[in-house]
Amino acid sequence: MVLREEEPDLLGIGVEPAIAIGQRALLVRTPHGNVLWDCISMLDDTARHQITELGGVTAICMSRVGRRGAPAR
């Protein structure tokens, strides 16, 4: 799992080496809370810890119906 700064307040979250179509999620950081844009199938413990240190996730947005594989709390 890799978190990479794409630009200020925008982090890409993906798996390396890429699997399948190389999906990634985006973590958009805002003063009102962080938004996870799209999701990937799995976040490992290290990635979850890094996201928690960045303020966690306030909302999740899924841009495509096909990405609703297994949303869970």
Three-class DSSP labels, 3-54:
EEEEECCEEEEECCCCCCCCCEEEEECCCCCCEEECCCCCCCHHHHHHHHHC
Read off the pTM: 0.78
Helix (H, G, I), strand (E, B) or coil at 66: helix
Q: What is the pLDDT along the chain (73 residues), one digit of tens a residue?
A: 889 999 999 999 988 887 777 788 999 999 999 999 987 877 889 989 999 999 999 999 887 665 555 555 5
What are the residue ranges spanned by the domains of the chain? 2-64
User: What pLDDT shows up at residue 24?
Assistant: 85
CA atoms lying within 13 Å on the CB side of residue 56: 4
